[in-house]
Amino acid sequence: MNTLYKQIPQVSKLLENPLIYAYLCEFFHEEIKMEIEKSLDELREKIRNKMTTEINYDDVVRNIVNRLKQKNKYSLRKVVNGTGTIVHTNLGRSLLSKQAIDNVVTVCSSYNNLEYNLELGCRGSRYDHVEQMIANIVGSEAALVVNNNASATMLCVATFGENKEVVVSRGELVEIGGSFRIPEIIKVSQAILKETGTTNRTHLRDYESATNEETAMYLKVHPSNYQILGFTKNVTNDEIVSLAHKMNQSRDKLIITMEDLGSGVFVDFNSYGLIKENTVKESVQSGIDLVTFSGDKLLGGPQAGIVVGKKEFIDQIKRHPLCRALRVGKMTIAALEGTLREYYEEKQAIKSIPTLNMIFKDANSLHKQATRLSKKINELSSVNSEVISIDSTVGGGSLPLSKLPSYGVSIQYKNLSTHLVEKFMRQNKIPIIGRISNEQYVIDVRTLCDGDEDIILLALNR
């Protein structure tokens, strides 16, 4: 027994092992020493519990290296987005504005009035912090914030559609990003889907003929990530609203009108020369009862689902037990309030909300940026780069067919294949995600952030 203890390597000797001291570029000396000591403590514990009969020096080293590797890597971490897709769901969707980040840090590093009414000195509601602001921006009577748009939609359907029928056009029974499918959302909300119309054409008379005693809701869904072109017909919000109005005159239980907008835009892109996307305000103005949208798509804020519309209906939604289950935390509220405040001035919002800023970058300055980066890459040995004309996409199921003309830099490295270059960049300490276009590895400069160019150059230099 005693001899086993004596075989435990010395800390100072382990610190001299090249596999371990290689980590000196990533940790303080003391941190490495601490991991060694923890590992040796574990070993002593094992000896004490008679769980080991011999000590192998290489195993001890391997154990320490594994600890350091583990310590080194966060699972969720920063990456460089060189894909040119702005609202990239796999890469975390919208980046927060500086104001939003600062507010999260301030609110979350101290106590706060999350559910405390400072005026009256009593319990308050977490929803009070942002709801009025949202209602003011979109011109609605009321607003509600929950975990994400999928839950917002589910919550609305569950509140009004339980054991009743929800009428949806066959052209709008969409799937978004694999796990969000309208028929399934309606099913888990315990409502019954009543399909109407056809894939390419749905008329108002289709909604009318689908209506019966059991009808609880007319649900419109933004097709988000696809478009039907050619011989098409869709029913407008105005038409739906007037049909519901007509039907409701002779009913006890009202038919609710609702639109799942998906992205939810506050800025009129059309007035800036981009494709027309209905703003949340325009949806609300159509007189529709409820509108739902995401916080982290074109709004450019944190993950959240926002419901806006008529107060009496939103009050009813707030009383549904699911509402409590889907509530948001202080980090979301802090980030959302920071983001919403940017919208007091639209020009300011476009400058400081990264998602909007990236959409509005002009091709000229992108060309300049790509030229500069490409030149710097070519100064490195063994790498070749060219400026490539490329299309960025908005992503996140927004403006599905609109392409934003942009520029990228291609990267050819020694005699590595395109796929090896992709892998090498992806496995960088700060991973770099580019795209492969015409068999070439390309980084679109539109989605690069401050400091990203240096990360790319450093990765290529190694």
The binder of ligand PLP chosen from 23, 127, 160, 180 (CB under 6 A): 180
| 145 CB-near residues (< 8 Å, 6+ apart) | 127, 130, 131, 134, 295, 304, 305, 306, 307, 328, 332, 333, 336
Phi, psi of 215 (to 5 degrees): -70, 125
- Does the footprint of ligand PLP cover residue 176 (CB under 6 A)? yes
> Residue 140 or residue 147: which is nearer to ligand PLP going by CB?
147
| Nearest partner of 237 among 173, 170, 161, 289, judged by Cα | 289
Kindly state the smallest distance separating residue 337's Cβ from ligand PLP, in Å: 18
In the complex, minimum distance from the CB of residue 93 to ligand PLP, in angstroms, rounded to a whole number: 8
Report the C-alpha gap between 348 and 371 in whole angstroms.
Answer: 28
For ligand PLP, the closer of residues 263 and 352 by Cβ is 263
Nearest approach in angstroms of CB 203 to ligand PLP is 22
* The token pair that represents 163 in the structure block: 């054991």
Q: Tell me which stretch binds ligand PLP (CB under 6 A): 68-76, 249-257, 260-268, 339-347.
A: 260-268
Q: Is 305 in the site for ligand PLP (CB under 6 A)?
A: yes
SS3 268: coil
CA pseudo-torsion sign 352, 355, 361, 365: positive
- Pure H helices in 353-389: 354-359, 363-378
Tell me which amino acid residue 78 is.
Answer: K
| Binding test (CB under 6 A) with ligand PLP, winner from 300, 302, 309, 397 | 397
Closest approach, Cβ 279 to ligand PLP, in A, equals 15
264 vs 408, beta carbon nearer ligand PLP: 264
Residue in 81, 83, 149, 406 binding ligand PLP, rule: CB under 6 A: 149
> Residues 221-254, buried b or exposed e (16+ Cβ, 10 A)?
bbbbbeeeeeeeebbebeebbebbeebeeeeeeb
Q: How far is the CB of 23 from ligand PLP (least distance, A)?
A: 39
Site string for ligand PLP, 208-247 (x = CB under 6 A): -------------xx-x-----------------------
Find the part of the chain contacting ligand PLP (CB under 6 A) among 67-75, 255-263, 352-360, 449-457. Answer: 255-263
Residue 91 CB, nearest approach to ligand PLP (Å)? 14
Exactly one of 39, 85, 148, 189 binds ligand PLP (CB under 6 A); which one?
148
Query: Does residue 84 interact with ligand PLP by CB under 6 A?
Result: no
How many Å apart are CA 413 and CA 441, to the nearest integer? 10
Are the beta carbons of 169 and 234 closer than 8 angstroms? yes
Rounded to a whole number of angstroms, the minimum distance from the CB of residue 303 to ligand PLP is 7
Mapped onto helix, strand or coil, the DSSP state of residue 154 is helix
Q: Which residue has the tokens 């325009």?
A: 282
Q: Which is nearer to ligand PLP, 87 or 377 (CB)?
A: 87
Q: Could you give the CA distance from residue 307 to residue 313 in angstroms, rounded to a whole number? A: 10
The pair of structure tokens assigned to 72 is: 């080194």
Minimum CB distance to ligand PLP, residue 380 (Å):
39
**Binding of ligand PLP by 294 (CB under 6 A):** yes
Contact between 262 and ligand PLP by CB under 6 A: the answer reads yes
Question: Among all residues, whose Cβ is closest to ligand PLP?
Answer: 262
What is the distance between the alpha carbons of residues 295 and 146, in angstroms, rounded to a whole number?
10
The residues that touch ligand PLP, with contacts defined as CB under 6 A, are 148-150, 153, 176, 180, 221-222, 224, 260, 262-263, 294, 305, 397
